[in-house]
Amino acid sequence: MSSMRQDPSHRPGPVGRTRGPSSGEGSRRECGAWLSVVVPAKNEAAGLPQLVEEIARALRPLCSPAAAATAAGARLAGFEIMIIDDGSTDSTPEVLEGLGEAYPELRPVRLARNVGQSAATAAGFREARGDWLATLDADLQNDPADLAALWQALPGHDAALGWRVKREDVWSKRIISRWANRIRNAVLGQSIRDTGCSVRIFPRDMALRLPMFYGAHRFLGPLLLREGCRIVQVPVTHRPRPHGESHYNLWNRSLRVVIDLFGVAWLMRRSVRYELAATVADDALSPSPPAPLSPARRGVGQEL
C-alpha cells in the first residue's frame, strides 16, 4: 500500500460533506458516512445477481457498530448500490427489479439511451446520495470485497485507488496495460500504479469538480491528483471475466486512450492556480463593523 499526493500548494482545501442521507454534522470518523457504489453496466444481466450480492456482503459488515473497533473511523453509516443501466438491450431492467426485494440498498438508474462508460459514470456521480463514492466495473473482474480494504485505508487520505496485483487477462492485454501505465505516468508526471483499475473510493464533492469527458473514466486517478487529493494505493484482486464479452477493442482501448492522454496532459498544464493572501469574511457584507481578514486559501481550477 502506498501514498502519494501533488504539491500541497495546489490543493483547493479540505473535503467537506455533501448531501448524504445521513443527518447532522461531524466527520466520517465520528459518525460514519454514506457510500454510493457507482457501477455502469451495459448488457451485463447474467452477472448482476452475483455482483449485487458480493457488494452487499462486502459492505454490510462495515455498517455494524462492531466495525468501528476494527479500524479507526472505518464504520459506514450506510451505502447504496447504484447500477447505472447504460442502454442495455438484454434483461438488465428485469434482473435489477427482481433483486430489489432482497437488497434494499440497490438503487438502479436507467439511462434513456447508451452514452458510454464515462457519461454513465458521470450520471452516477450526480445521482448519488452518499458523501463518498466507490466505483467498480460490472463484469465481475473486480472483487467487491476489496472495497472494504480501500475504505479502511482511507483515514489520513482523500482517496483510495486500487491496483491489480495479478491481471487475469490474456498476455497481450497485460503488456498493453503495463506500457500504457508507464506512458501515462511519464506524460502526466505522476506515479499511479494502475490507472485502468476501476476499484476506487473518493469524496463525492471532489468528484463533481472533475472535468468529465468521453474517456474520463480511465483518468479518474490522475484527475483526482490534479485536484490535490492525498491518495493511497491499495493492492486488489483481478478475476477472469465469467460472463459475456468485453465491450472494448483496439480503437477504444489503445488509440483513443492515447488521444485522451494528451488532452488530459494539456488540461493539467492549462489549469490556473492561485493563492489568496487574504479575503474579507462573508459576514462583512452586513451593516456591522468590518470583519477581520480570513486566513489565506489556495485553489486550482480550469482555464477557459
What is the bridge-based pairing of β-strands 76-85 and 33-41? parallel
Q: What is the pLDDT of residues 247-282, one digit of tens each?
A: 555 555 567 777 888 888 888 887 777 778 887 776
236 and 206 in a common domain:
yes
pLDDT tens, residue order, the chain (304 aa): 766 654 433 333 333 333 444 333 334 444 579 999 999 999 999 999 999 999 999 999 999 887 665 554 568 999 999 999 999 999 999 999 999 999 999 999 999 999 999 999 999 999 999 999 999 999 999 999 999 999 999 999 999 999 988 765 555 566 666 666 677 766 777 778 888 899 999 999 999 999 999 989 999 999 999 888 999 999 999 898 887 666 555 555 567 777 888 888 888 887 777 778 887 776 666 565 555 554 544 444 443 3
What is the extent of the structural domain holding 67?
A: 2-260
193 and 120 in a common domain:
yes
296 and 160 in a common domain:
no
89 and 233 in a common domain:
yes
207 and 279 in a common domain:
no
Q: Which residue type is seen at 194?
A: D
User: Burial level of 42, CB count in 10 A (0-12/13-18/19+)?
Assistant: buried
Instruction: For residue 252, tell me if it sits in a domain.
Output: yes
237 and 170 in a common domain:
yes
207 and 276 in a common domain:
no
Q: Residue 157: enclosing H or E segment and its boundaries?
A: none
**How many domains are there within the chain?**
2
CATH code for position 247: 3.90.550.10
Q: Which residues, including other chains, have CB under 8 Å from residue 188's CB and lie 6 or more apart? A: 222, 261, 264, 265, 268
210 and 69 in a common domain:
yes
Q: What is the pLDDT of residues 70-122, one digit of tens each?
A: 554 568 999 999 999 999 999 999 999 999 999 999 999 999 999 999 999 99
281 and 197 in a common domain:
no
